[in-house]
């Protein structure tokens, strides 16, 4: 194997650059040239490839986002788009591809594998919704960012005896909300998997007030069926809730920032493993964290279901919010 390509695709996540760097430098170790594809599948279809030297990946380990940029692309979801992508890879003489991204990006990788092109996926998404790995790249950093925000908000909340509604990312998965609620000491957590009705949230906040708490925090994943503005409005009008209500939507700040030590290590190990798996002649695999080890798992299996949340965390959140 002499020449491979690497891309980042879907939502960016902190640690993607560390993974790119690991792919390029592992390639160099094995005498393989690595080409970066700009903007994911969009760049693939446009033939936007360039050689990544060791110097080009210098100084990126600690940078959030992705130097290759990322994109969403509808054309690549079609069989015609996928065949065009395959043609581009062959025209450039590529012998393998590393796709760094979320479950949609991994589905794209699987389609190329099914067309006979050697592909390995690297799971990167702050949502931690990719099956086949205990953690995806970026989750730990996003959690740290959210916890820092919760700590800051709690300071001001308790100074004013306020309850804060805090919306965190998670369009269809409540992992960030649930874990952040435990680590940030929240009173309430509502996720798409276990949604708490607005009336119940009012009751829980009232209870916290009656118990003498000087503040209360409700962490709401963005994927629940009601909007946080609706919720804040409802709670403000509810005569039972003793707290003054405020709303804070954390938004895309959760996706940016320098990767944590955990994410740098995970991304580095996964990037190295991805090249080794390709070099071993395996395709259609994703590198996943299994306990202490990074191992290849079938992409086909990984994208079958969304990674389920460990239900014990809900119980932990309940006990610790008393
Ligand atoms: P993420 O990778 O973060 O989950 P998306 O779901 O938006 O993000 O997917 C990123 C890109 O991957 C899409 O814009 C599309 O180009 C490609 N993709 C997603 N799903 C498929 C699919 N089923 N088949 C082929 N390509 C796909
Ligand atoms: O997939 C990660 C994620 O952060 C989701 O939690 C969120 O809903 C989504 O991306 C938002 O992405 P964008 O604003 O880039 O479309």
Backbone φ and ψ of 290, nearest 5° = -120, 95
Sequence ranges of the domains in the chain? 3-138+259-302, 141-255
> For position 240, what pLDDT does the model report?
87
Q: How far apart are CA 31 and CA 192, in angstroms?
A: 46
What gap in Å lies between CA 141 and CA 137, rounded to an integer? 9
Which pLDDT score is estimated for 17? Answer: 98
Question: Of the residues 8, 9, 11, which should be mutated to test ligand 2's pocket, given the most ligand atoms within 8 Å of the CB?
Answer: 11
Q: Whose CA is nearest to atom 16 of ligand 1?
A: 73
By alpha-carbon position, which residue is closest to atom 13 of ligand 2? Answer: 11
Could you report the per-residue pLDDT of 247-302, keeping only the tens digit for each?
999 999 999 999 999 999 999 999 999 999 999 999 999 999 999 999 999 999 99
| pTM recorded for the entire structure | 0.97
- How many Å lie between the centroid of ligand 1 and the Cα of residue 47? 18
What is 141-255's CATH topology? Rossmann fold (3.40.50)
**How far apart are the CA of 282 and the centre of ligand 1, in A?**
22
Helices 228-237/198-210 angle, 10° precision: 50
Q: Is 127 a catalytic residue?
A: yes
Tell me the pLDDT tens digit for each residue of 64-107: 999 999 999 999 999 999 999 999 999 999 999 999 999 999 99
Under a CB-based contact definition with an 8 Å cutoff, are residues 300 and 110 in contact? yes
**Is 3.40.50.450 the CATH number for 3-138+259-302?**
yes
Tokens of 287: 């590198």
């Amino acid at each position: 194997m002499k020449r491979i390509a690497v891309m980042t695709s879907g939502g960016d996540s902190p640690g993607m650059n560390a993974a790119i760097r690991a792919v390029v430098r592992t390639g160099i170790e094995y005498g393989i040239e690595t080409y970066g594809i700009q903007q994911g599948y969009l760049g693939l279809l446009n033939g936007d490839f360039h050689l990544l030297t060791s110097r080009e990946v210098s100084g990126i380990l600690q940078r959030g986002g992705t130097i290759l940029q990322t994109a969403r692309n509808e054309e690549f979801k079609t069989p015609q788009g996928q065949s065009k992508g395959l043609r581009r890879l062959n025209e450039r003489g590529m012998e393998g591809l590393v796709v760094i991204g979320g479950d949609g990006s991994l589905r794209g990788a699987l389609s190329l594998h099914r067309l006979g092109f050697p592909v390995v996926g690297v799971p990167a998404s702050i949502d931690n919704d990719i099956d086949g790995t205990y953690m995806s790249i970026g989750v730990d950093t996003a959690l740290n960012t959210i916890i820092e925000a919760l700590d800051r908000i709690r300071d001001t909340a308790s100074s004013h005896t306020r309850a804060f509604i805090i919306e965190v990312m998670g369009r269809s998965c409540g992992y960030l909300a649930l874990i952040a609620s435990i680590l940030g000491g929240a009173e309430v957590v509502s996720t798409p998997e276990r949604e708490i009705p607005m009336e119940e949230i009012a009751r829980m906040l009232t209870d916290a007030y009656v118990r003498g708490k000087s503040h209360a925090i409700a962490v709401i994943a963005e994927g629940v069926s009601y909007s946080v503005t609706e919720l804040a409005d409802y709670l403000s009008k509810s005569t039972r809730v003793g707290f003054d209500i405020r709303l804070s939507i954390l938004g895309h700040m959760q996706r940016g920032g320098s990767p944590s030590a955990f994410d740098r290590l995970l991304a580095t190990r996964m990037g190295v493993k991805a090249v080794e798996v390709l070099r071993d002649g395996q395709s259609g695999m994703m590198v996943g964290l299994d306990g202490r080890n990074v191992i290849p798992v079938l992409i086909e299996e990984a994208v079958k279901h969304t990674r389920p949340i460990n239900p014990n965390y809900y119980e932990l959140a309940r006990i610790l919010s008393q």
